[in-house]
Amino acid sequence: MFESAEIGHKIGKARYRAAVPPLRAALLGAQVDLFENGKIPVVVLISGQDGAGKGETINVLYEWMDPRFISTLAFSEPTDEERERPPMWRYWRSLPPKGRIGIFAGSWYSDPIRQRILGEISLKELDARADQINRFEAMLVSEGALVLKFWFHLTKEGQKKRLKALESDPHTAWRVTQWNWDRLKTYDQLQDVAGHILRITNTPWAPWVVVEGTDDRYRSLTVGQILLEAMQKKLASTDKQESPVAPMVRVDTDGRNVLSELDLKLKLADKPYENALAKWQGRLSELMRDARFKGRALVCAFEGADAAGKGGAIRRIGAAMDARQYQVTPVGAPTDEERAQPHLWRFWRYLPRQGHVAIFDRTWYGRVLVERVEGFCSENDWLRAYSEINDFEHEMADAGVIVVKFWLQISQAEQLKRFKAREQVEFKRFKITEEDWRNREKWGAYQQAICDMVERTSTGNAPWTLVEANDKNYARVKILRTLCERLEAELDGRPMPGEQAHAKVSTKKSDRAAKHAKSVEKRAAS
d(CA 22, CA 28): 10
Which whole number is the average pLDDT over 336-360?
Answer: 97
pLDDT at 513 over 70: no
Percent of the chain surpassing pLDDT 90:
73
Q: What is the mean pLDDT of the chain?
A: 89
d(CA 119, CA 142): 34
For 346-367, the DSSP string reads: HHHTTPPPTT-EEEEES-GGGG
pLDDT of 278 strictly over 80: yes
pLDDT tops 50 at residue 238: yes
Q: How far apart are CA 306 and CA 410, in angstroms?
A: 9
Q: Using alpha carbons only, what angle is made at residue 89 by residues 86 and 95, rounded to the nearest 5 degrees?
A: 160
pLDDT for the residue numbered 429: 58
pLDDT at 150 over 60: yes
Residues 349, 93 contacting (CB under 8 angstroms): yes
Residues 334, 342: contact at Cβ < 8 Å?
no
Strands 70-74 and 401-409: unpaired
Pick the CATH number of 270-525 from 3.90.1300.10, 3.40.50.300, 3.40.50.970, 3.40.50.720: 3.40.50.300
> Looking at 96-110, 167-181, 266-280, 494-508, which range is the least confident one?
494-508
Contacts of 189 (CB under 8 A, 6+ apart): 117
Check: CB of residue 366 under 8 Å from CB of residue 331.
Answer: yes
153 - beta bridge partners?
Answer: 212
Q: What is the pLDDT of residue 430?
A: 60
**pLDDT higher than 60, residue 487:** yes
Mean pLDDT on 87-100: 96
CATH 3.40.50.300 for domain 3-236, yes or no, is yes
pLDDT of residue 5: 83
Domain boundaries, the chain: 3-236, 270-525
Max Cα-Cα span within the chain: 89
Task: With cut-offs at 50, 70 and 90, classify the pLDDT of residue 154.
Answer: confident
CB neighbour list of residue 147: distance below 8 Å, 6 or more residues apart: 43, 45, 137, 140, 141, 205, 206
Q: What is the pLDDT of residue 438?
A: 78
pLDDT category at 503 given cuts 50, 70, 90 is: very low
Domains 3-236 and 270-525 share a fold: yes
pLDDT-derived band of residue 504, with 50, 70 and 90 as boundaries? very low
